[in-house]
């Protein structure tokens, strides 16, 4: 007897490989992804990559320019700051703080935002109305200004800066999740899943969530770059990370006074922020194109 | 003298695999005041042909034709603006979805007046008079009230009447109706077709009725053109095609739709073509119906030409069906 | 007499709309619909847009609860079933949607979509589920290998086959098909219609077939119910309805439907009186405004249902079989 083989079709690429095929075509996005990966690796292996401790002061080498200029020395590749700290080490260790804090902020904002968004999308009436209006109020205030106000109220310092930026990011998640859920809920396949007897929870996890994932992923990358910039800005204004923490925004603000004397101390952390945000945005653009449902044949 | 004369009209669109031919050497003629039916499924190129005639193709499309004339004016010799103006004066088109063809932000009246303005009626009072006249002509009662209303306040059938009113405002010689009733209920469908035929009879306006439903044509057209995958498969008088289709595809279309008045015994199967319509960038070799055709043989990998069959019309098939094969109910 | 598989009694659904002026409006999507469907038979619901036929379908499968009336499957009242049993009861009546493209989860493989009802409603293990899925796919003319694919890799006709497979997988007795052909190409419609008829014979299914296409309805039905504005106009055997319509509305529908078999028939000059759907419930016959035979009584009182040889007609003046339209 011939055994009936079930599932013997040539393997059909899953969602991820389909996505990857499209993503690869987007040159800028691939560059963004590569750079971002390098930066993340840099953050992960800072102790190995950085030549010195970020707070170690070389009192004989104050404000040394980078190695490629005439007065530079190779021991301090990117030069030193006004206290004689090695700038390369500070920037490398700073990536830990900047990326790590942004990631933490995005995780907090995503979890709370998706929960509230799902609540608003699935519930009707008072609850939905209440959530949406609160989010509208938050959205009505410019994001950085709001973060500053929140920090001003609850006091400066890293933990408070994290809360502030997370609160600023939440409304975007709520809106996008709620809108996507509303859109999906109206579609026949959700009704069909309901008729299959799926419980509301199963409906959300099995039918709705996979379909709102693409816009959510795109939103996460956007939020990540916003978080990075906002945290740096708060650090710069002295309301986030406090010196001697080598957070990029904080390094910037401390070096600001010496912009004439030692321009590299400002330029290099500034470039670090620029490159990171740029690569995240490029990556996000590629994601959006590759995940766009309209592109599906 | 012919109203519309097309010789070897082809339309190609660029894709990442190069140009894809969505309309392949279509030739047809319409006499003045003739009613021509064009039948085909989605992707058959029937709408593309209408758009090509109207000059409404998207700019990246490549149009080629040996000859194309409207109302005895060679369109290929006119260029750009002149061609657009000439076509606007001599032909109009209406589409399937009246709701999306009308602008929801303006009243019916504003939109009709705008059309009239384009056709050279400048005085506002005259515009109003003509608008009322037009609405009367397409069978809308209380035209004064309707002119002040917005598209969403009218029913689908009513909106299609408004579309027709706007299309015939310039007294065109040719009206192309692309699936004009597909989105409407049957009782309304009958009224719209009746209206189109009335306009044809009263004003001698040529009518090209594009549809996927043979039954709609049986009562209204003199000639029918059957299209499949961008080609004309059969072009003959309505009576000939309905009584004795010679192309297997025409017959399959006729037999695959059940029509009222046919008695069926319970469980009787409909005739159906196997498979699906081929993707236009992935056409079979030779006859485009080939893989789906029950009569296909070796010969069919050669591309058949559109050839004349005596006392019938034009058929694109190596093995056309015998006369009366439908009536006799013989196997396809 | 045999007991019907599905019996619907006085099914009524009222939507209450409140607009910003707080004026309350009532829309009766279905109004006192009653019918019986027997095993292995097809009942077609015919009507134009706004006739309430889709609302009826939604109530039958449990998407929307009816305002009043009863739905009985094998003499079991669906509204009275205990909560725990509810899911089980609704397994007997399943739905096929109009648009196959939107009724399949675009991000789930076909296999997952088809296994989903089994995961929720049965205790089968994964191997048994897969076998059942393969079996049902074969029944609808697809292959077991197709389970690994995503919906967008199929043509519209194949997607509708998958949707039918999903309806079949819980071994239902009644399938409610809401315009299952209208999103498909003409040459594919016949394939799906043939499939539905074959499945009906093989599995003794009963269909509630909702359609506006009278040709298809005449081909597939045993019984036909004509609806207008949520109310039953006429209900009878397919031959009665098509050969001897007794309601002016049915006759109007039939005469409006083009048919190529009798080429001499000329469309009757129809009244161009068209009324934008007025939500207000009139006390009279809902068709009165468009009816060529309407009399004063039709506007004032709602007609009773006449039973003429088993054919139910809701009209004050049912037409004689041979009356001219």
ipTM given for this complex: 0.79
Please answer whether residues C138 and C78 qualify as being in contact, where contact means their C-beta atoms are separated by less than 8 angstroms.
no
Provide the pLDDT for residue C269: 42
Say yes or no to pLDDT of B276 above 80.
no
Tell whether C301 is covered by a domain: yes
pLDDT tens digits for B107-122? 988 988 888 888 888 8
| Residue A8 lies inside a defined structural domain of this protein | no
Domain that holds residue A239: 26-45+57-295
In a domain, C229, yes or no: yes
- Asked if residue A9 is part of any domain, the answer here is no
Nearest CA in chain A to C132: A6
- Residue A122 is encoded by which pair of tokens? 């699935």
Domain annotation covers residue A11 = no
Shortest alpha-carbon distance between residue B205 and chain C (Å) = 19
Domain extent for B66: 4-221
Q: List the structure tokens of A135.
A: 């989010």
Average pLDDT over residues B285-307: 84
Does residue B240 share a domain with residue B156? no
Q: CA–CA separation, A286 vs A214, rounded Å? A: 12
pLDDT at C280 over 50: no
What average pLDDT does chain A have?
Answer: 86
Establish if A196 belongs to a structural domain.
Answer: yes
pLDDT at C19: 63
| pLDDT of the residue at C264 | 36
| B189 band by pLDDT with thresholds 50, 70 and 90 | confident
Residues B34 and B142 in one domain: yes
User: Do C260 and B155 lie within an 8 Å CB cutoff?
Assistant: no
DSSP A57: B
Residue C293, min C-alpha distance to chain A (Å): 41
On whether both B169 and B130 belong to a single domain, the answer is: yes
Same domain, B112 and B214: yes
DSSP letter at C144 equals: G
DSSP-assigned letters across all residues of B148-212: TS-GGGS-HHHHHHHHHHHHTTT--SEEEEESTTTTS-HHHHHHHHHHHHHHHHHH--EEEEEES
Assess if residue C140 is contained within a domain.
Answer: no
DSSP state of A85: B
pLDDT (tens digit per residue) in A271-293: 999 999 999 999 998 888 887 65
Q: What is the pLDDT of residue A276?
A: 94
Is residue B140 domain-shared with residue B49, that is, in the same domain?
yes
Stretch C113-120: mean pLDDT, rounded? 89
Is the pLDDT assigned to residue C258 strictly greater than 80?
A: no
The verdict on B156 and B295 lying in the same domain is no
Give the pLDDT confidence score for residue A12 in this predicted structure.
66
Q: How many domains does chain B have?
A: 2
Chain A residues within 8 A of C163 when measuring between CB atoms: 192
Which residue of chain A is at minimal alpha-carbon distance from C111? Answer: A7
* Averaged pLDDT for residues C161-168: 93
Q: From the candidates C187, C193, C220, C290, which should be mutated to test the interface with B, based on the most B CB atoms within 10 A?
A: C187
Do B150 and B289 share a domain, yes or no? no
Same domain, B168 and B245: no
**Range(s) of the domain holding residue C79:** 6-92+172-314
Are both B105 and B213 inside the same structural domain? yes
Q: Is there a contact between B46 and B38 (Cβ–Cβ < 8 Å)?
A: yes
Chain B residues in contact with C256 (beta carbon < 8 A): 186-187, 189-190
Do the domain assignments include residue A286? yes
- Count of the separate structural domains present in chain C: 1
The answer to whether position C250 is within a domain reads: yes
Query: Do B18 and B99 lie in a common domain?
Result: yes
Is C249 part of any domain?
Answer: yes
pLDDT grade for A116, boundaries at 50, 70 and 90: very high
Does A173 reside within a domain? Answer: yes
Query: Cα-Cα-Cα-Cα dihedral of B42, B46, B47, B50, to 10°?
Result: 180
pLDDT the model gives residue B215: 79
Q: What is the pTM of this model?
A: 0.82
**C27 falls within a domain:** yes
Nearest to C189 among B153, B214, B256 (CB): B256
Number of domains, chain A: 1
How confident is the model over A150-168, as pLDDT tens digits? 888 988 888 888 999 999 9
**Domain final residue pick, B163, B190, B221:** B221
Q: Is residue C253 part of a domain?
A: yes
Q: Are A211 and C106 an interchain contact pair (Cβ–Cβ within 8 Å)?
A: yes
List the CATH number of the domain containing A74: 1.10.3720.10
Contact A189 C102 (CB under 8 A): yes
Distance CA C313, CA A170 (A): 60
Calculate the average pLDDT of chain C.
83
**Is residue B268 within 8 Å of B280, Cβ to Cβ?**
no
Residue at C252 is within a domain: yes
CATH code of the domain in which C43 resides? 3.40.50.300
Domain at B155, CATH number = 3.40.50.300
Is A7 a domain residue? no
β-bridge pairing B67-70 and B62-64: unpaired
Angle at B309 between CA B307 and CA B314, to 5 degrees: 50
Non-local CB neighbours of C60 within 8 Å, separated by 6+ positions? C6, C8, C71, C93, C95, C174, C176, C208
Whether residue A245 lies inside any domain: the answer is: yes
């Amino acid at each position: 007897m011939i055994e009936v083989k079930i599932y013997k079709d040539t393997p059909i690429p899953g969602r991820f490989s389909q996505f990857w095929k499209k993503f690869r075509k987007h040159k800028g996005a691939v560059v963004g992804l590569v750079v971002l990966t390098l930066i993340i690796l840099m953050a992960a292996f800072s102790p190995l990559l950085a030549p010195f401790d970020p707070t170690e002061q070389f009192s004989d080498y104050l404000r040394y320019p980078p190695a490629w200029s005439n007065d530079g020395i190779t021991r301090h590749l990117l030069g030193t700051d006004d206290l004689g700290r090695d700038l390369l080490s500070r920037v490398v260790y700073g990536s830990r703080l900047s990326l790590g804090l942004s990631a933490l902020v995005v995780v907090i904002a995503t979890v709370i935002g998706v929960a509230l968004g799902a609540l608003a999308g699935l519930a009707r009436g008072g609850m939905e109305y209440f959530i949406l209006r609160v989010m509208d109020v938050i959205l009505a205030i410019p994001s950085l200004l709001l973060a500053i106000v929140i920090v001003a109220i609850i006091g400066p310092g890293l933990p408070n800066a994290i809360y502030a930026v997370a609160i600023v990011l939440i409304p975007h998640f709520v809106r996008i999740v709620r809108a996507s859920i509303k859109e999906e809920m109206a579609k026949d396949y959700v009704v069909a899943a309901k008729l299959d007897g799926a419980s509301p929870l199963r409906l959300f996890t099995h039918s709705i969530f996979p379909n709102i994932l693409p816009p959510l992923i795109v939103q996460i990358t956007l939020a990540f770059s916003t978080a990075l910039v906002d945290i740096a800005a708060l650090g710069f204004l002295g309301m986030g990370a406090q010196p001697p923490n080598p957070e990029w925004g904080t390094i910037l603000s401390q070096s600001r006074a010496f912009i004439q004397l030692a321009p590299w101390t400002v330029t290099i952390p500034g470039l670090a922020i620029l490159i990171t945000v740029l690569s995240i945005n490029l990556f996000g653009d590629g994601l959006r194109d590759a995940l766009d449902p309209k592109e599906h044949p | 003298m012919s109203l519309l004369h097309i010789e070897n009209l082809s339309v190609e669109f660029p894709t990442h695999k190069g140009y894809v031919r969505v309309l392949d050497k279509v030739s047809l003629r319409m006499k003045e005041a003739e009613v021509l039916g064009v039948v085909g499924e989605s992707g058959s190129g029937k709408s593309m042909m209408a758009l090509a005639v109207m000059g409404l193709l998207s700019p990246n499309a490549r149009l080629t034709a040996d000859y194309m004339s409207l109302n005895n004016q060679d369109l290929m010799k006119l260029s750009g603006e002149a061609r657009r103006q000439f076509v606007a004066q001599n032909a109009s088109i209406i589409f399937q979805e009246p709701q999306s063809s009308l602008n929801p932000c303006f009243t019916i009246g504003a939109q009709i007046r705008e059309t009239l303005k384009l056709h050279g009626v400048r005085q506002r009072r005259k515009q109003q008079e003509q608008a009322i006249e037009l609405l009367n002509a397409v069978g809308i009662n209380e035209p004064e009230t309707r002119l002040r209303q917005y598209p969403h306040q009218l029913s689908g059938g009513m909106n299609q009447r408004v579309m027709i009113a706007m299309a015939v405002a310039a007294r065109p010689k040719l009206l192309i109706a692309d699936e004009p009733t597909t989105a409407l209920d049957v009782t309304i469908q009958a009224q719209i077709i009746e209206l189109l035929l009335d306009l044809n009879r009263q004003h001698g306006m040529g009518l090209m009725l594009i549809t996927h439903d043979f039954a709609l044509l049986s009562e209204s057209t003199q000639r029918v053109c059957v299209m499949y995958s961008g080609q004309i498969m059969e072009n003959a008088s309505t009576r000939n095609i309905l009584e004795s289709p010679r192309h297997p595809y025409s017959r399959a279309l006729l037999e695959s739709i059940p029509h009222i008045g046919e008695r069926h015994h319970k469980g009787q199967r409909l005739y159906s073509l196997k498979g699906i319509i081929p993707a236009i960038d992935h056409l079979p070799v030779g006859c485009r119906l080939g893989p789906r055709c029950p009569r296909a043989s070796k010969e069919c990998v050669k591309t058949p030409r559109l050839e004349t069959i005596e006392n019938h019309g034009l058929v694109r098939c190596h093995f056309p069906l015998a006369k009366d094969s439908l009536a006799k109910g013989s196997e396809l | 007499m045999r007991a019907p598989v599905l019996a619907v009694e006085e099914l009524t659904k009222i939507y209450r709309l409140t607009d910003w002026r707080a004026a309350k409006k009532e829309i009766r999507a279905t109004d006192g619909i009653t019918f019986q469907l027997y095993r292995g038979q097809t009942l077609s619901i015919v009507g134009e847009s706004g006739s309430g036929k889709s609302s009826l379908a939604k109530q039958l499968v449990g998407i929307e609860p009816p305002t009043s009336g009863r739905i009985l499957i094998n003499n079991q009242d669906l509204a009275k079933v205990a909560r725990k049993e509810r899911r089980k009861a609704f397994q007997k009546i399943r739905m096929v949607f109009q648009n196959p493209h939107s009724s399949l989860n675009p991000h789930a493989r076909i296999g997952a979509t088809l296994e989903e009802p089994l995961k929720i409603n049965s205790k089968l293990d994964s191997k048994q589920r897969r076998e059942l899925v393969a079996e049902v796919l074969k029944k609808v003319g697809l292959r077991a290998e197709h389970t690994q694919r995503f919906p967008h890799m199929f043509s519209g006709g194949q997607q509708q086959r998958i949707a039918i497979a999903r309806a079949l997988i819980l071994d239902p007795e009644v399938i409610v098909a809401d315009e299952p052909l209208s999103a498909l190409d003409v040459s594919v419609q016949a394939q799906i219609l043939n499939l539905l008829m074959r499945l009906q014979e093989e599995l003794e299914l009963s269909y509630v077939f909702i359609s506006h296409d009278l040709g298809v309805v005449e081909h597939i039905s045993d019984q036909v119910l004509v609806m207008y504005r949520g109310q039953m106009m006429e209900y009878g055997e397919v031959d009665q309805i098509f050969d001897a319509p007794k309601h002016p509305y049915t006759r109007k529908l039939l005469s409006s439907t083009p048919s190529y078999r009798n080429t001499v028939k000329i469309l009757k000059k129809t009244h161009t009186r068209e009324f934008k759907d007025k939500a207000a419930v009139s006390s009279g016959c809902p068709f009165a405004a468009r009816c060529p035979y309407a009399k004063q009584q039709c506007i004032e009182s709602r007609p009773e249902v006449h039973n003429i040889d088993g054919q139910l007609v809701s009209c004050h003046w049912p037409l004689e079989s041979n009356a001219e339209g």
